[in-house]
Chain A
């Protein structure tokens, strides 16, 4: 069975400090990894996918198959980054997605 683990429920950082939101997964095949974000009073939306290898709003995430991790990073946190972040996994070729329990990022001014 596939599983996604986000060990931190809450992560508080000061504005301008680096951010790393941790995500580990267990799946033996070829997974597709995603980060979704939910800002206050807004719907969940895709932040980035490992396949696209892009940077969105200054965030990046690298899939490390050896460590089965897909940590989300940003060098300098902004107040508008405060939100709930979910890591998600999809089995290759399937549509069903498994989400982690989420990490609330709080950026302190």
Chain B
């Protein structure tokens, strides 16, 4: 039981490049979410999903896309990276009681 896994752990992009951050969970949770963590701003919700095929926007969705084709996977896509997207990204899945977080992806956009 791996819990929530994220890949890659680190990534450096140039402005304008695109990439996908991967997130997977093996706990059969319906709810999954993506956050970004920035100093002094805490965790801000980017997108979330309440089940396969259902996604919705969080607080800071601009510049990010998501899809949820399976219960297990919830990838986050950056279409055209910008320096403002330099951050640590956390994926989480949850049951009714608790959110379980992945280890994070540290992204730097030059």
Binding site for B on A (CB under 8 A): 6, 9, 36, 43-46, 49, 86, 95-102
Contacts and interface: CB of A to CB of B under 8 A. Distances in A.
Interface string B28-61: 0001010100001111110010100000001000
A86 B43 contact: yes
A88 to B, nearest CB: 8
Interface of B: 31, 33, 35, 40-45, 48, 50, 58, 90, 92, 94, 96-99, 101-104
Contact of A86 (B42, B50, B94): B42
A101 B48 contact: no
B104 A99 contact: no
Contacts of A98: 45
Nearest to B38: A101
Contact of B101 (A6, A9, A45, A95): A45
